[in-house]
Structure 1
């Protein structure tokens, strides 16, 4: 399986939408866990990196270093 590469401040699309109706998120913290912020309602969620990679659909805006 292809490894997905993502960076801090990337805007991503997740497989399932947030309850507010959007599935557009921004990565705001990276480490063993990844914190993402909903671009619709500004709610943030922290999930394990492995789970994040599994739920990621595509990278919309890349801010590679």
Structure 2
């Protein structure tokens, strides 16, 4: 799966605050993602993130 830094991931399950949108800040064996509502940073293994992605929102590049 092609996930890049700066992408916004819409996940299947929401964060406890109720938001299911996360900004990707680091990519590697683990993803560092930031909740778009409360700003909480979470480090999650790549496999778990890739299984739970519903949609990837990407900025159009000029």
Q: Same fold (TM over 0.5)?
A: yes
How many residues align? The count is 61
TM, length-normalised to structure 2? 0.87
Give the alignment's Cα RMSD to 1 decimal.
1.6
TM, length-normalised to structure 1? 0.84
Please list every run of 5 or more consecutive structure 1 residues that lacks an aligned counterpart in the other structure: none
Alpha-carbon separation, structure 2, partners of 1:6 and 1:63: 14
Larger RCO: Structure 1 or Structure 2 (Cα < 8 Å, ≥ 6 residues apart)? 1
Please list every run of 5 or more consecutive structure 2 residues that lacks an aligned counterpart in the other structure: none
